[in-house]
Amino acid sequence: MRIERRAAARGHVRAGWLDSRHTFSFGHYHDPAWMGFGVLRVINEDRVAPGAGFAPHRHANMEILSIVLSGALAHRDSTGGEGVIGAGDVQWMSAGHGVEHSEFNASDTEPVHFLQVWIQPDRSNAAPAYAQREDVALGDDAWTLLASPDGADGSLPIRQAASLRAARLGDAGGPLAYELDAQRRYWLHLATGAARVDGVELAAGDALGISGEAGRLEVAGRAPGTQVLLFDLPA
């Protein structure tokens, strides 16, 4: 089974300093048809104005990944975790039994554009944790592992039997492939650019969900600098 989630159909929240698009129900945006995709609960595409951001707030029992597409994001949390992540960096915060954190645009002059992802963990009330991976070098037309249960290949070690891969695609050359397992489910999100996925044209912000399907997934770039994310999730 495949489902399409088009960028224009996502929830949209706009407040002076924030422009946010919600793939799944979040905050004031609620759609019973889009409550998540298995353990994948949130993909928010946020643009935050210079100097603005999210004041300290609390989360529990959620794996949170932040992926900066442009600009820089400053993070601080109640466990002592802090850092600035820029384009090409990936940050992981496991909220565990509870953590308070803030996120602000690290620049007073330039906006920050980033994705925040929430994945439901496979355990409850663990100790909070934080890690950051800097300057992830995405290969051209090759998958790079960003997050996994065991931290393989230097990826961030999330607390769920799920993985996140990313690739940068050009607009020429053969498609990038991924072997699907019918006992898993997959969510492909196009972060930037344009791509063709098994004959389906996707633009930035579009996504495709796949479940109960085995075989070969093929993704081809349709614009220079296209960036795609692929979540491999438990069924």
Q: Per-residue pLDDT tens for 31-74?
A: 999 999 999 999 999 999 999 999 999 999 999 999 999 999 99
The pLDDT value recorded for residue 93 is 95
CATH architecture of 9-133: Sandwich (2.60)
Distance, in Å, from the CA atom of 99 to the CA atom of 79, rounded to the nearest integer, reads 7
Q: Residue 177 to residues 130, 190, 217: CA-CA distances in angstroms?
A: 31, 15, 5
| Candidate from 81-85, 95-99, 207-211 with smallest mean pLDDT | 81-85
Tokens linked to 133: 């991976």
The pLDDT value recorded for residue 26 is 97
Contact predicate 93/42, CB 8 Å:
no
Which residues is 117 bridged to in the sheet?
43, 65
Tell me if the domain spanning 144-234 has CATH number 3.60.40.10: no
Contact predicate 17/49, CB 8 Å:
yes
pLDDT of residue 114 exceeding 80, the answer is: yes
Q: What is the CA radius of gyration of the chain?
A: 17
The pLDDT value recorded for residue 171 is 82
Distance, in Å, from the CA atom of 121 to the CA atom of 125, rounded to the nearest integer, reads 10
pLDDT of residue 137 exceeding 90, the answer is: no
What value does the mean pLDDT take over residues 120-145?
Answer: 91
Domain(s) labelled CATH 2.60.120.10 in the chain stretch across 9-133, 144-234
pLDDT band at 203 (very low <50, low <70, confident <90, very high): very high
pLDDT of residue 139 exceeding 80, the answer is: no
pLDDT band at 160 (very low <50, low <70, confident <90, very high): very high
Contact predicate 74/103, CB 8 Å:
yes
> For the chain, what is the mean pLDDT?
95
pLDDT of residue 172 exceeding 90, the answer is: no
What value does the mean pLDDT take over residues 186-196?
Answer: 97
| Residue (of 201, 200, 204, 198) closest to 226 by Cα position | 204
What value does the mean pLDDT take over residues 75-101?
Answer: 93
| Residue (of 153, 93, 98, 167) closest to 129 by Cα position | 93
Distance, in Å, from the CA atom of 220 to the CA atom of 209, rounded to the nearest integer, reads 17
What value does the mean pLDDT take over residues 85-101?
Answer: 95
pLDDT of residue 136 exceeding 90, the answer is: no
The pTM of the full predicted model, rounded to 2 decimals, is: 0.96
